[in-house]
Amino acid sequence: MKFISWNVNGFRACLTKGFDEFFAEQNADIFCIQETKMQPEQADFSPEGYHKYFHSAVKKGYSGTAVYTKKEPLSVVFGINGEHTDEGRVITCEYDDFYFVCCYVPNAQTELKRLDYRMEFEDAMRGYLSELDSRKPVVYCGDLNVAHNEIDLKNPKTNVGNPGFSNEERAKFTELLGAGFCDTYRTLYPEKVEYSWWSYRFKAREKNTGWRIDYFVVSERFMERVENSSILTDIMGSDHCPVCLEIKG
Task: Identify whether 143 is a catalytic site residue.
Answer: yes
Catalytic residue among 29, 133, 143, 239: 143
Decide if 103 contacts 80 (C-beta within 8 A). Answer: no
Using alpha carbons, select from 46, 25, 22, 64 the residue that is nearest to residue 237.
22
Task: Identify whether 104 is a catalytic site residue.
Answer: yes
Catalytic residue among 104, 128, 140, 185: 104
The terminus-to-terminus CA distance of the chain in angstroms comes to 6
What pairs with residue 225 in β-bridges? none
Q: Please, is 181 exposed, middle or buried when counting C-beta atoms within 10 Å of its C-beta (0-12, 13-18, 19+)?
A: buried
3-state secondary structure 93-153: EECCCCEEEEEECCCCCHHHCCHHHHHHHHHHHHHHHHHHHCCCCEEEEEECCCCCCHHHE
Catalytic residues: 104, 143
